[in-house]
Amino acid sequence: MNDLKVFVNFRNGDGQQAAAHLYDALVDRYEPHQIFRSSETIPPGGDYVKALSTAPADSEVTLSLIGSRWLEIEDAQGRPRLADPDDWVRREIRAALDAGRRVIPVLLDEARPLQEHQLPADIALLARNQYVRWYSRDTSSSFEAIAGKLDRLVPGLRKNPSASEGAVVQHNSPSNGGIVMAPMFGDNKTNWPPQAGQN
């Protein structure tokens, strides 16, 4: 029986560190097997094509992280990645929308809301979906706001019985240029902030 509840959709080069922070907070608060993020959930040797083709449709909610460069990032030929029907970010969003799942745009910092005319027709509906914001300088408050919405929208999302109690700690992160507020993930957590290349 499928038990996926939240799928984290993001683009490398425009939100992968926010996705890592958000994923860590989600699996600290909720049962980890209910949360999907590609590099954390797909095991070594796993079929990533199959996993990424089905998980968005199987999940109750997709959180689509959108930064200031999300529309602009290009492939090796200089074409916008989003223009490619086989682009994974686009495919994941399309799979969730086609399945009638809720897709929540998560605008990173000062990223502007999307407009339908900016998007391929198969995911244009994303621009009409109500968004939330994630602020890199206040990740704790940002996460609590998102988690509060998930608690209301996804009744089957179960709390992690070993979750920490929401303590807050300050971290200096080179990815955002200053002090950020972040959930404390437990005394034994050693991978905060994620290292370069983690996604």
User: What CATH fold (topology level) applies to the domain 6-183?
Assistant: Rossmann fold (3.40.50)
| Residue 155 pLDDT level (bands cut at 50, 70, 90) | confident
Q: Where are the domains of the chain?
A: 6-183
- Rounded Cα distance, 117 and 53, in Å: 25
| Residue 167 pLDDT level (bands cut at 50, 70, 90) | very low
Give the per-residue pLDDT at 164.
64
Phi and psi for 169 in degrees, rounded to 5?
Answer: -135, 150
- Average pLDDT score, the chain: 85
Going from the C-alpha of 173 to that of each of 43, 180, 186, the distances in angstroms are 28, 7, 18
Q: Is the pTM of this model over 0.85?
A: no
| DSSP line for 54-86 | HHHHHSSEEEEEE-TTTTT-B-TTS-BGGGSTT
- pLDDT tens figures, 43-95: 999 999 999 999 999 999 999 999 999 999 999 999 999 999 999 999 999 99
- Rounded Cα distance, 131 and 174, in Å: 26
Per cent of the chain over pLDDT 90 is 77
- Rounded Cα distance, 40 and 143, in Å: 19
Per cent of the chain over pLDDT 70 is 81
Name the percent of the chain in helix, strand, coil, to the closest 5: 35, 20, 45
DSSP H or E stretch at residue 152: helix 139-153
DSSP 51: H
Answer yes or no: are the C-beta atoms of 49 and 161 closer than 8 Å: no
Answer yes or no: are the C-beta atoms of 9 and 56 closer than 8 Å: yes
| Residue 162 pLDDT level (bands cut at 50, 70, 90) | confident
Report the b/e string of 136-163 with b at 16+ CB within 10 A: bebbbebbbebbeebeeebeebeeeeee
- Rounded Cα distance, 136 and 134, in Å: 6
Tallying the residues shown for the chain, one arrives at 199
